Amino acid sequence: GVFEDFIVGGSNNDAAKDSIGPSIRLFLNDTLFCDGGNTNLNPTLIAFLQDSSGLNTSGNSIGHDLMLSIDGEQKFNLNQYYESDIDSYVSGKLSFNLPELTEGYHQLTLKAWDMQNNSNQASLSFYVKKNEPSKLFDIVFEQNQESAAFIFTHNRPQVWMNAELRVYDLSGRLQWQSNQSMINKDNHGERIEWNYIGMNGLRIENGLYICHLIVQTNGKEEAVISRKIVVGAK
């Protein structure tokens, strides 16, 4: 037999109508940043994007790239920096380290397109301070039976730092310490591993402890944060 009802090209008349561009949320260095806030000389842009039709970051559509502009002059194609959320084509995020900026006020704008040729843009204003102090935003304690990790976030992306972590019992006795030099390359937070072995070479007892983190950059700037942690089952 012969089948002659092939369709070449055309459009799907039943496709959902979409005339709204992607949702865009912008931050600098961390998600606590507010529009008009202060940053260091080369902050990291963090953007969360979402669209029910999917984000267009293929680079195959002329003029439909994920574009960043700074002060209306410097322009950057950020297609390669976008990462979809797991098992999702409608949402994702990107992190991009801005070039070193001059001290003073700046504005950046990110423009994105969806797969239905709808665009949207979002802007963020900020003030660059040459000597913006180091800040520690949070420290999270993750553990299993064999090991643990301290994960902390800060406002010094792409800068070498020295991190000194100490763990004390509730009587103030030092149980463990670590001193490391590190640099954050992916903006996902720094990680310090621990195998539960204390200063005496033995596995510490389960219970409540205090962790104290001191971060130093440029040999003098310091930021300090403390948290209570619970060491669980052996």
pLDDT tens by residue, 114-153: 999 999 999 999 999 887 666 666 788 888 888 899 988 7
Note whether residue 18 is domain-resident.
no
pLDDT in tens, 173-198: 999 999 988 776 555 568 899 999 99
Please check whether residues 94 and 140 belong to one and the same domain. no
Calpha distance 30→194 (Å, rounded):
25
The total domain count for the chain is: 2
Q: Residue 168 domain-assigned?
A: yes
The token pair at 63 is 């003029």
Least confident of 5-14, 21-30, 96-105: 5-14
The set of residues, in sequence order, having a beta carbon less than 8 Å from that of 17 and lying 6+ positions away, is none
Domain end (from 76, 102, 128) = 128
pTM above 0.85, yes or no: no
Secondary structure letter of residue 146 according to DSSP = S
Reported as a single tens digit per residue, the pLDDT across 161-175 is 788 999 999 989 999
- Rounded Cα distance between 92 and 76, Å, is 19
Q: Name the pLDDT band for 234 (thresholds 50, 70, 90).
A: very low
* Percent of the chain clearing pLDDT 70 (strictly above): 83
